[in-house]
Amino acid sequence: MLTDGMLLRIYISESASYGDRPAYKYLVDYFREKGFPGCTVFRGMMGFGHEKQLRTVDVFRLSLDLPIVIDVVDTEERIMQIIPDIEKAVEYGLIITQKVGMIRKKP
């Protein structure tokens, strides 16, 4: 059955950190500790951010600081509750939310 939900998508660089940890690893642990149903981290093949520096997996221009996208989907209420924490953890990047329809399939 289709229900209302919200997508939280975070764009950061692979080198972004929070405290002494990579920011994407911190965020995955944060979402798991908060009881979210899932979180997925995507490592981009190419991209650029606010500084306009191109980062790519091209062997001639190899970058070890690739784009990272983190997706989490849950209810709008739960996503909006954590936005202040996410803003603290993301020093440079982009945080977006989008209303979505979701169908949860559980084992």
61-93 pLDDT tens trace: 556 688 999 999 999 999 999 999 999 999 999
Whole-model pTM?
A: 0.88
Q: What is the mean pLDDT of residues 100-105?
A: 92
User: Residue 30: which pLDDT band, with cuts at 50, 70 and 90?
Assistant: very high
User: Residue 18: which pLDDT band, with cuts at 50, 70 and 90?
Assistant: very high
- The residue with greater pLDDT, 65 or 8, is 8
CATH of domain 3-101: 3.30.70.120
User: Residue 57: which pLDDT band, with cuts at 50, 70 and 90?
Assistant: low
Radius of gyration of the chain, Cα coordinates, nearest whole angstrom: 15
Cβ distance 4 to 101 under 8 Å? yes
DSSP per residue, 75-86: -HHHHHHHHHHH
Cβ distance 56 to 45 under 8 Å? yes
For residue 28, the model assigns a pLDDT of: 98
Q: Where are the domains of the chain?
A: 3-101
